Amino acid sequence: MNVDMKQLAQAVEKESASVRALQGEIAKMIVGQYYLIERLLVALLADGHVLVEGVPGLAKTLSVKTLAQAVNARFRRIQFTPDLLPADLLGTQVYNPKTGEFTTKKGPLFAHLILADEINRAPAKVQSALLEAMQERQITLGGETYKLEEPFMVLATQNPIEQEGTYPLPEAQVDRFMLKLKITYPKKSEEAEIMDRVTGPKPVQIRPVIGPAEILSAREAVKNIYMDEKVKSYIVNLVCATRDPEGYKLKNLKGLILYGASPRASIYLNIASKAHAFLKGRAYVIPDDVKAIGMDVFRHRVIVTYEAEAEEMTSEDIVKRVFDEIEVP
């Protein structure tokens, strides 16, 4: 396939300018957390959803809210609790006794950016309602189907320090998230800046620098980013190595992997690598893009065995070994 790289580079330069302005606007509010912000933008550009794990107070909610303000998009935050019902997310049919008719009351999922806070606090029915909307991009109420407006992205959070009264997401459901992120505490220098910025006399004002239409246009540019056949083979080898480690001379992983990465891993790693290259201003993908985003795509898709847990090995340890051992093109 003949690819006009000059034309591609010009398209990426044109579309990425607004995204760079978006990054700069978010940085006015959020101190540090470059990893979280970059991955949010990768998911937004790659049309995926994000699962974030981190202790309270690390600006997860603020990051998504700031992103929504800078994108001029509708934002809804849903606090998941054990008494939540699917209708609280999707909406419901309300009977009007005067007219004798039912009217549709749309739920908070009818927005562009959704923060599902502490998703593991809600029971399975509520989780399934959210995940179905994420996958199908539509909601059915009273026999009528409503398409969700694009761009549509869900960022769900989990608190790793409290497990009482929670409903852990099944592995098959977690697979629907493009990325799973693990957020850590800020650095010492960032902590001081956070303190000064939050307690300062002038609150930071975020202005819209890009609209939903520009995001959709940027997504088209991301899809057209060039990926060499060798890089595609590299992605396939990484995914297949998690399913058949012995076939890739990873005998030290024998008996440690219960389930390897699903086909979604190769699809998501492909498009997320393109989005990562786009954010770096490139019209082509290099293996470093794949390696940079790989852990976030694989982390929740590689399921370890009891033997691995007995050896105190996590899915991250195994994924790191796979990336270390598979030959880079």
The CATH number of residue 156's host domain is 3.40.50.300
Q: What pLDDT sits at residue 273?
A: 96
User: Is the domain of 205 the same as that of 230?
Assistant: no
- In the predicted structure, residue 165 carries a pLDDT above the cut 70: no
- In the predicted structure, residue 170 carries a pLDDT above the cut 90: no
Between 23 and 152, whose confidence is greater?
Answer: 152
Residue 17 placed within a domain = no
Residue 252 placed within a domain = yes
Q: What pLDDT sits at residue 67?
A: 86
Mean pLDDT score of the chain: 86
User: Is the domain of 93 the same as that of 160?
Assistant: yes
DSSP-assigned letters across all residues of 241-304: HHH-GGGGT-GGGTTTEEE---HHHHHHHHHHHHHHHHHTT-SB--HHHHHHHHHHHHTTT-EE
Between 102 and 137, whose confidence is greater?
Answer: 137
Q: What pLDDT sits at residue 290?
A: 96
Global pTM value: 0.89
**Domain final position from 152, 179, 210:** 210
Average pLDDT over residues 19-23: 84
User: Is the domain of 99 the same as that of 37?
Assistant: yes
**Per residue in 188-202, is it b (16+ CB within 10 Å) or e — as a string?**
eeeeeebeeeeeeee
pLDDT confidence bin for 3, thresholds 50/70/90: low
Average pLDDT over residues 173-201: 83
Q: What are the distances in angstroms from CA 130 to CA 89, 169, 197?
A: 7, 12, 35
Range of the domain at 75: 33-210
**What is the Cα–Cα distance from 160 to 316, expressed in whole angstroms?**
16
- In the predicted structure, residue 14 carries a pLDDT above the cut 90: no
Between 152 and 140, whose confidence is greater?
Answer: 152
**Domain final position from 210, 234, 253:** 210
The position carrying tokens 């790289």 is 5
User: Is the domain of 99 the same as that of 232?
Assistant: no
User: Is the domain of 61 the same as that of 190?
Assistant: yes
The total number of structural domains that make up the chain: 2
Residue 217 placed within a domain = no
User: Is the domain of 196 the same as that of 316?
Assistant: no
Average pLDDT over residues 21-30: 84
Q: Are strands 144-147 and 138-141 parallel, antiparallel or unpaired?
A: antiparallel
Q: Which two tokens stand for residue 312?
A: 């105190």
User: Is the domain of 58 the same as that of 205?
Assistant: yes
User: Is the domain of 172 the same as that of 244?
Assistant: no
User: Is the domain of 141 the same as that of 264?
Assistant: no
Residue 15 placed within a domain = no
The CATH number of residue 315's host domain is 1.10.8.80
User: Per residue in 193-220, pLDDT tens?
Assistant: 888 777 777 777 888 888 888 899 899 9
Residue 69 placed within a domain = yes
**What is the Cα–Cα distance from 90 to 313, expressed in whole angstroms?**
39
User: Is the domain of 130 the same as that of 232?
Assistant: no
User: Is the domain of 55 the same as that of 186?
Assistant: yes
Q: What pLDDT sits at residue 4?
A: 72
Average pLDDT over residues 224-232: 93
User: Per residue in 274-319, pLDDT tens?
Assistant: 999 999 989 999 999 999 999 999 999 998 889 888 888 889 999 9
Q: What pLDDT sits at residue 2?
A: 56
Residue 10 placed within a domain = no
Residue 199 placed within a domain = yes
**Domain final position from 210, 239, 254:** 210
Closest CA to 183 of 101, 302, 99, 62: 62
User: Is the domain of 133 the same as that of 241?
Assistant: no
pLDDT confidence bin for 163, thresholds 50/70/90: low
